[in-house]
Amino acid sequence: MDWYYVKDGAQEGPVTEADLEELARDGIVRGDTLVWRPGLQEWQPAYDHVAGVTPPPVTQRDTSLPEGVPGNPREAHASGGAAANHRGAEGPDADYTAQSGFVDAAKKFFGNYATFSGRSNRGEFWFWVLDNLAISLLVSFVLGDTGSSLWSLVTLIPSFALGARRLHDIGRSGWWQLLILLPVVGLLVLIYWFAQRPEPGPNRYG
């Protein structure tokens, strides 16, 4: 069973369970080190899973997670119960709020203009959908059909790139976007997939 762990704010792995225990003996993995393996819904402290490590004092525990590492143990342990596991499985979605989401989504959309690799969470995707709808209506009102056509052309490539990254986030290939060629049914399937929770932890896309 492959394991991942957090070191100096970055995700490391995969490593075997034996390797993880050796890292614990070497002092690299400590009791408060966050670890994850397939089957766990969220990152958890190593003392729950790795032989040879002990939990640190409560006042010294740090369950913060670096940016880009899936899951959010801090929220999960603070809230507890089913609701905590729900948020832990969603990971980076929690980074998007109504206050910051629109701006952040637009920045990432244009900052990853032709990036078809990696993953994008639901917040990034759906906030951009709302951004795009508002901008499209404004451009159409100000510049008419010519402006709308130009805006659609400018956003064509990054839209497919974002769609691919969103599908990667649920473990599907970006090529599934070709379903859009199927009238109605293909669009409904894609909307359903775009609304799905991300896969917990790393997958083959990141």
Give the model confidence (pLDDT) of 107-125 as tens digits.
999 999 999 999 998 989 9
Would the pLDDT of 93 be above 60?
A: no
Would the pLDDT of 39 be above 80?
A: no
- CA of 31: how far to CAs of 26, 47, 51, 204, in Å? 13, 5, 10, 28
Taking a C-beta distance cutoff of 8 angstroms, is the pair 43, 73 a contact? Answer: yes
pLDDT the model gives residue 8: 80
For the chain, the domains span: 3-93, 96-194
Task: Report the alpha-carbon distance of residue 202 to residue 72 in Å, rounded.
Answer: 13
Taking a C-beta distance cutoff of 8 angstroms, is the pair 62, 33 a contact? Answer: no
Query: CB within 8 A of 84, min separation 6: which ones?
Result: 75, 76, 77, 78
pLDDT the model gives residue 32: 85
pLDDT the model gives residue 199: 83
Give me the helix-helix angle, 122-169 and 185-194, nearest 10°. Answer: 110
pLDDT band at 97 (very low <50, low <70, confident <90, very high): low
pLDDT the model gives residue 45: 87
pLDDT the model gives residue 102: 85
- The 3-state DSSP class for residue 13 equals strand
Would the pLDDT of 149 be above 50?
A: yes
